[in-house]
Chain A
Amino acid sequence: MASEPENNETTPIPSLEAAAPSPLVAALQREHPEWIADVIAAFGEITIVVPREHIVAACSFLKTWPESRFDFLSDICGADRGVEEDPRFEVNYHLFSTTKHHRLRLKVVLSEEDPHVPTVTGVWRTANWHERETFDLFGVIFDGHPDLRRILLPDDWQGHALRKDFPLRGYEPYSLK
């Protein structure tokens, strides 16, 4: 059955739309073009890929910049793209503004050999535990973190459980006998 292009327009898929760059990103592009390595717009959300040496400066700027005012760090999460990928890891910073009610996601991509990223605990204090969780489960090391310990897994755990090459059942069966 031949599809009508007019009918398709009534139900657009938001992810496939070439999203127009938001005014915020455009303004940030004018201010600091070196911070923006890439802009991803999908599902109505905007992601800025930031080089990792600029992440602290970008975060502290976006927190106080009058146009953004991202005073709330919703989440920091890691991701493992797979063992064969390079860069393998990514760290996502989900920002939210409680006064302007908009959101932004910053993304830092990291290679497997050098999974270091500067900490943003100096910008948002809540990043402390989020970064510990990301370190615990993915092995991403946050340089300058005040207390980079495991937070979810036991302290004597070996490996990082959410990496793609970590076996689902772990390495050894647990037994105290």
Chain B
Amino acid sequence: MGLENIIAEALPEVLTTRLDSLINWARKSSLWPATFGLACCAIEMMNSTSSRNDLARFGSEVFRASPRQADVMIVSGRVSRKMAPVLRRIYDQMPEPKWVISMGACATSGGVFDNYAIVQGVDKIVPVDVYIPGCPPRPEMLIHAVMMLQEKVMKESVRDRKDVPEEEAREAVPPGTLPVTDGSAVLKEALQSRPYTIASRHERRRSS
């Protein structure tokens, strides 16, 4: 084809560039997201890949169900406490380099769900690179977040992204689920009295 002829004539055979620039350019050009659709924000996330919005223009349309094949985790929706260990485990299963987009008010700060069941911000579980406000954010905002993440990727160095898990990922012990018992252990726990009236640290911090 003609393109190769033009390039072969116009460019020399050897190019010099910084390794970071080349690798970061390759990384940012195909950020494959791992879907983590948890609530209504996931509808907007799906819509961002539709023909109207077309996230494929920025190389980020291949949503992967397997964390092993993903680069960026888009946490879209509220994270319940029961889901938090699962989310952390999926994040740990993603190979480096990996990034996290916190999509929407609930994933960012808990949103309107300021209660015992919802984690007040996914940054308590995983390190977040880009936060998106909104309830839910429009697909354009998610595309903007992907573009911001691409700019961030271009500023990184390959030395920042070793394949060894980061220290915080290594220290975290995701609480698993208890084995199935006959119910006796839970029964004992239920019988223990608990000082319900004492405000927790969490409560005191909120009220002050």
Q: Which residues of A contact B (CB under 8 A)?
A: 83, 135, 139, 141, 145-150, 153-156, 158-161, 163, 165-177
Given contacts A149-B181, A156-B175, A168-B116, A176 and B202 within 8 Å (CB-CB): no
Judge whether B114 is part of the interface by a CB distance below 8 angstroms: yes
Q: List 26 A-B contacts (CB under 8 A).
A: A83-B196, A135-B190, A139-B190, A141-B187, A148-B187, A149-B183, A149-B186, A154-B175, A154-B177, A156-B178, A158-B189, A160-B190, A161-B116, A165-B196, A166-B116, A166-B196, A167-B200, A170-B115, A171-B200, A171-B202, A172-B201, A173-B120, A173-B201, A174-B81, A176-B124, A176-B173
Looking at the complex, which one of B82, B202, B203, B205 makes contact with A154 (CB distance below 8 Å)?
A: B82
Asked whether B168 lies within 8 Å of A153 as measured between CB atoms, the reply is no
Residue of A nearest to B178 (CB): A155
Residue of B nearest to A139 (CB): B190
Contact residues of B between 13 and 59, Cβ < 8 Å to A = none
Which residues of the partner chain B approach A147 to less than 8 Å between Cβ atoms? 182-183
Residue of A nearest to B81 (CB): A174
Given contacts A141-B190, A148-B183, A175 and B116 within 8 Å (CB-CB): no
Which residues of the partner chain B approach A148 to less than 8 Å between Cβ atoms? 183, 186-187
Q: Which residues of B contact A (CB under 8 A)?
A: 81-82, 84-85, 88, 114-117, 119-120, 124-125, 168, 172-175, 177-178, 180-183, 186-187, 189-191, 194, 196-197, 199-203, 205-206
Q: How far is the CB of B120 from chain A (nearest CB, A)?
A: 6
Asked whether B202 lies within 8 Å of A175 as measured between CB atoms, the reply is no
Looking at the complex, which one of A135, A149, A159 makes contact with B180 (CB distance below 8 Å)?
A: A149
Residue of A nearest to B203 (CB): A167
**Other contacts beyond A147-B183, A173-B205: 5, CB < 8 A:** A135-B190, A153-B82, A171-B203, A173-B201, A176-B174
Question: When chains A and B are docked, how far (Å) is the Cα of A148 from the Cα of B180?
Answer: 10
Given contacts A147-B182, A174-B81, A167 and B172 within 8 Å (CB-CB): no
Which residues of the partner chain A approach B117 to less than 8 Å between Cβ atoms? 153, 161
Given contacts A155-B177, A169-B116, A174 and B84 within 8 Å (CB-CB): yes
Residue of A nearest to B197 (CB): A165
Question: When chains A and B are docked, how far (Å) is the Cα of A136 from the Cα of B202?
Answer: 22
Q: How far is the CB of A176 from chain B (nearest CB, A)?
A: 5
Residue of B nearest to A152 (CB): B82
Q: How far is the CB of B145 from chain A (nearest CB, A)?
A: 23
Asked whether A170 lies within 8 Å of B88 as measured between CB atoms, the reply is no
Which residues of the partner chain A approach B81 to less than 8 Å between Cβ atoms? 153-154, 174
Asked whether A172 lies within 8 Å of B124 as measured between CB atoms, the reply is no
Which residues of the partner chain A approach B201 to less than 8 Å between Cβ atoms? 172-173
Question: When chains A and B are docked, how far (Å) is the Cα of A84 from the Cα of B7?
Answer: 83
Which residues of the partner chain A approach B115 to less than 8 Å between Cβ atoms? 168-170
